[in-house]
Amino acid sequence: MMRAAIRFFYTTSLIFFIFSCNTGPRTVEGERILKKKESVTVPSFSSDSAYSFIEKQLLFGPRVPNSVAHKLCGDFLIDKFESYGANVLVQNFTEKSFDGKTLQLRNIIASYNPKAKKRVLLAAHWDTRPFADKDTTERFKPIDGANDGASGVAVLLEIARKLHAHELPKVGIDLVLFDGEDYGPHSEADAPQMIDGKLRIWWCLGSQYWAKNPHKAKYSAYYGILLDMVGAKNARFYREGGSMQFAPKVVNSVWTTARYLGYGDYFIGSNSPGITDDHIFVNTIAKIPMINIVDYDPHSDSFYFPEYHHTHLDDIDIIDKRTLQAVGETLLYVIYHE
């Protein structure tokens, strides 16, 4: 999932910090994980199950706001979280889109260990792009969004399934599915806009709403992790610029854990430019340090985004179970070692 990128710019000192902060496999964080390995039982992540969750979302069709598929899939996601023992809260809200439509949106929040004061926020977006604006044919038809939307949701559903079946980690876990992330303009030229003296960003509507209206008064989390396009074959997750600006320690912890688990070919120890995604609003408005695990490659031939991005190629054929395993297993290790 993800809209066209709106570049984030940083100070010279920050850029120097990003490019000088390269954690190798032998780090203090790695030693901490190694010490805890024997004392902490981490549930095994099932990529088969996560894959099936992608298939089930795709059966509804493109999950475009105001569509029947969007309504039915949202109901399905709520039911699944409830069946996995989560305390589920739904934020119903409306937002204007860039093309003047009133969108009926829902943020879905599934919480575990609600009494824990120390909390970790895991998020993805569950809506899909209403246009294939990077395609050469059928550009105004919605996309399946197998990776851009469904993959992150699927990883969180599988984590919820494991949390329900095993002893919970010591920290509280909040799984948040943001709506209206991908209903943005057809090009960067007409986004964002100044309306009534305020900058209006048409992407990430659900995270903007949640950051201003958290599901619980005075809600806070120790940190957050956003999943964006985390299931494609040959995915590469670079250390995204906004994540390095707002939460470099969280980036280093997650990337070190991934390398410790043998997924260094996915979690690359170098940086990519910052992009405007849901984590930016969680950082800047809700003031929760949140990182973005996103397939956004600075060496890509298609301007950072994969070739399937915002096209009809984003279907089940591009999904790879090992990529899902790399992300899901890493997240489970991270939250169970808190």
Lowest mean pLDDT among 25-29, 149-153, 274-278, 331-335: 25-29
Tokens 């939250």 sit on residue: 335
- What local confidence, expressed as pLDDT, does residue 189 receive? 47
How is residue 308 written in tokens? 């399937």
Lowest mean pLDDT among 2-16, 104-118, 149-163: 2-16
Look over the chain and give the mean of its residue pLDDT values, rounded to a whole number. Answer: 88
Q: Does residue 73 carry a pLDDT above 70?
A: yes
Q: Decide: 161 and 77 in contact? Cβ < 8 Å.
A: no
- What local confidence, expressed as pLDDT, does residue 44 receive? 97
CATH number of 12-336: 3.40.630.10
Q: Does residue 19 carry a pLDDT above 80?
A: no
**Residue 250 pairs with which residues in a beta bridge?**
none
Is there a cis peptide before residue 130, judged by omega within 30 degrees of 0?
Answer: no
150-171 pLDDT, tens digit per residue, is 999 999 999 999 999 999 999 9
- What local confidence, expressed as pLDDT, does residue 188 receive? 52
Number of residues that this document lists for the chain? 338
- What local confidence, expressed as pLDDT, does residue 299 receive? 84
**HSE (side-chain half, CA atoms, 13 Å) at 307:** 6
- What local confidence, expressed as pLDDT, does residue 39 receive? 74
202-216 pLDDT, tens digit per residue, is 999 999 999 999 999
DSSP letters along 230-260, please?
A: --BTT--EEEEHHHHHH-HHHHHHHHHHHHH
Q: Decide: 182 and 157 in contact? Cβ < 8 Å.
A: no
Q: Decide: 215 and 89 in contact? Cβ < 8 Å.
A: yes
- What local confidence, expressed as pLDDT, does residue 300 receive? 77
216-271 pLDDT, tens digit per residue, is 999 999 999 999 999 999 999 999 999 999 999 999 999 999 999 999 999 999 99
- What's the pTM value of the predicted model, to 2 decimals? 0.89
- What does the pLDDT average to over 120-135? 96
